[in-house]
Chain A
Amino acid sequence: MIAVGIDIGSVMTKVVAMKNRSAIYSRILKTKPEQKIMSEEIKKEVVEKTGEMIGRIVGTGYGRRNIPGVDKTITEITCIAKGTNKLFPSVRTVIDVGGQDSKVIKIDENGRVRDFIMNDKCAAGTGRFLEVMASILEMSLDELGNTEISGKAPVSISSTCTVFAESEVISHIASGKEIDEIIAGVHKSIASKIASLAKRVRIEKPVLFTGGVAKNKAMREVLAQELGVEIIVPDEPQIIGAFGAALIAQDDMNS
């Protein structure tokens, strides 16, 4: 019998299957519009790949209510805290930046959420901002994130609105600014937005950076600079919410 955590995010869906509190299967796939059908396929695949029966499913992420047969739905905040506490027990603040939102979560030594804050209903400070910028710079997200920006003077992008920032970037391109400096500016803009969010809840060290945007190398550098603290990034930063959901499913199965 396995415990399964499914985290349906706006861009990516993450799945973790767990046996005796150890992850035995994980998968990250693009979120499909038909989330119910996608969830059925995921469940089938988990059973096939692990050769185990599903004991309990916990759903999280914005699509958490669209999983047929889900035993419990828990928000990402609690799942990330739970997953973090298991993998990085000393961490006190998690900054999670996903496709459509960014959140800062403060956790105590028992993995309990002490406080959290999420971005306003706006794409600034989220993965969507990077996607838009990558597209006008005609780069992939990986290329954008792997650009060497240290030592580059970032151009100023003053608008917090993604659409207005887009036209600022276009005018920088038109005025012949060096691409690396524009990329540095793009990262600085999103990092300063996230940092101001984080400072509102008075961050405590150590700080963990998770979510799809944490895979972006340039972002990690700039965010650490903006916050003035070192940040830890897990090997697979996207999966921690699904991992936490699976842990909750496991706990429920055991009790």
Chain B
Amino acid sequence: MGKRLQATINLKNLIDEYYKKMFRYSNEKRPVAWLNVGIPCELFWAMDVFPFYPENYGALCGARKVATELSHIAESYGFSQDLCSYARVNLATVLSGKGPLGEIPPPTIQVCATNSCITVLTWWRAVGYFKNVPTIVIDTPIVQYDSDTLHLDYTEKQFRKMIESVEKITGKKLDLKRLIEVTEISNETKSLWSEVLNARKNIPSPINAGDVFTHMFPMVALRGTQEGLIHLISLKNEVYERLNNPKRDHNEKYRLLWDNLPVWYDLKLFDHLEQYGAIFVTDTYTQAWGPEFMGIVDRDNPLRSFAYFCASGFLNVGFDRRYKLIKQLVDEYSVDGIVMHSDRSCKPYSLIQHEIKKKIMDERGIPSLIIEADHSDSGNYSSESIKTRIESFLETIDCLK
């Protein structure tokens, strides 16, 4: 496999253009909203309010290897080193003006949902406090398996109120016709994404995790935009060209599943493991934006669909649902082993890994390895010991095969 997709290389441009656009909005005094990943960008693109995702920014800082330095800045302001590194990185930029993009223009408004963690709640409030910006919170009680009518009514009602407030604060109106146009583009983008993920079911898989994880950027922030759609078309085409190329590499020996966020500052780990024939053919993280958790928006009732994605988000559901996805991925993607990243910065994601490890071994005979790291802060990361653990794990899979 080896070579990165051209689409992955082109991402840099796409990301640069996205951030340039944010600065343009700010210079022209057009509204910018800071959102967490539970809040659909489609609504904001439709209202012409620029959606900025601090979590995406945290991943960017991780991948550009500046997150640890920024984390130290946040810690010098008194934030604990046990706080999520995405939060530390973002707060460091808010407070010091430092970061890969320099000073980031303050938001006009902030919205967050509690569907991924409670950290976002206090993090958004902290930014709201420092920048004197109104903050809207969408409360999403944890769902045992799937959201019911009560959950959906409650979330949808909050979305309606949120839209009213955003309209009032930004002066922008939500035009339903425009929203439908945006959601149609978004639906098409998500279908393309599902096709990209599905291509990995082939043996051997045409792509490894490095090319997939980086595409979380357009999947989080550019759904519903032309540039996002065009990018996904070229990504999908390239993946299928590679898949249908009879001369492509066939060195796949182990088909692995990655659980949790990637280690952004060490995406090279996936390249390193390729020399042993270890390919990550699926993962739970990008699947959280896949068909199971983020399906097609109903054009007759888009708010209800958004309420559903928010209330039944991947980190807002209980063990059984999470386990069901993993079992399904193990079966559909012919997985030989699971590498679970126990992520210091994402405890809701990491908490149940030991249980999943036991159950998937008992029910499917599939071994799992738990490695400890952090998605953005490399301060406690030891690349060599992680490699040794994974190499040992591959040898264990050999024993079990």
**A121 interface residue, CB < 8 Å from B?**
yes
A119 — nearest CB in chain B belongs to which residue? B385
Q: Does B388 contact A (CB under 8 A)?
A: yes
Cβ-closest chain A residue relative to B389: A118
Point out the residue from A62, A113, A117, A120 that lies within 8 Å of B388, measured CB to CB. A62
Check if A113 sits within 8 Å of B399, measured CB to CB.
yes
Once bound together, how far apart are the Cα atoms of A78 and B399, in whole Å? 9
In the complex, A112→B398 CA distance in Å? Answer: 9
How far apart are A189's CB and chain B's nearest CB, in angstroms?
21
Say whether chain A's binding surface is mostly helix, strand, loop, or mixed: mixed
Size of the chain B interface, CB-CB below 8 angstroms: 17
- Asked if residues B392 and A121 are in contact (CB atoms below 8 Å), the reply is no
B353 to chain A, nearest CB (A): 12
A116 vs B399: C-alpha distance when bound (angstroms) = 13
A78 close to B384 (CB less than 8 A): no
Using CB atoms, name the residue of chain B closest to A118. Answer: B389
Contact residue among B380, B381, B392, B400 (Cβ-Cβ distance under 8 Å from A112): B400
Residues of B near A116 (CB, < 8 A) are: 392, 396
Name the contact of B396 in the complex, choosing from A62, A77, A120, A200 (C-beta under 8 A). A77
Residue pair B372, A120 in contact (C-beta under 8 Å): yes
Which A residue sits closest to B371, measured CB to CB?
A118
Q: Chain B, 378-401, contact with A by CB distance < 8 Å: what is the 0/1 string?
A: 001110110011011001100110
When the two chains form their complex, are residues A74 and B372 in contact, meaning their CB atoms are under 8 A apart?
no
Note all chain B residues with C-beta closer than 8 A to A200: 354
Q: Which residue of B lies closest to A200 (CB)?
A: B354
The reply to whether A77 and B380 form a contact with Cβ atoms under 8 Å apart is no
Q: Are A121 and B399 in contact (CB under 8 A)?
A: no
Q: What residues of A have a CB within 8 angstroms of the CB of B396 in the complex?
A: 77-78, 113-116
Task: State whether the Cβ of B58 lies closer than 8 Å to any Cβ in chain A.
Answer: no
Across-interface contacts of B388 in A (CB, < 8 A) = 62, 75-76, 118
- Residues in B with CB closer than 8 Å to A101 are 385
Q: Which 10 A-B pairs have the closest CB atoms?
A: A112-B399, A77-B392, A75-B392, A121-B382, A78-B395, A113-B396, A75-B391, A113-B399, A120-B372, A75-B388
Can you list 15 pairs linking A and B with CB atoms under 8 Å apart? A74-B395, A76-B392, A77-B392, A77-B395, A78-B395, A113-B399, A115-B367, A115-B396, A116-B392, A118-B388, A120-B372, A121-B372, A121-B380, A121-B381, A200-B354
13 further A-B contacts with Cβ under 8 Å, apart from A62-B385, A77-B392, are A74-B395, A75-B388, A75-B392, A78-B395, A78-B396, A101-B385, A113-B392, A113-B395, A113-B399, A116-B396, A118-B385, A120-B372, A121-B385
Using CB atoms and an 8 Å cutoff, list the residues of chain B in contact with chain A.
354, 367, 370, 372, 380-382, 384-385, 388-389, 391-392, 395-396, 399-400
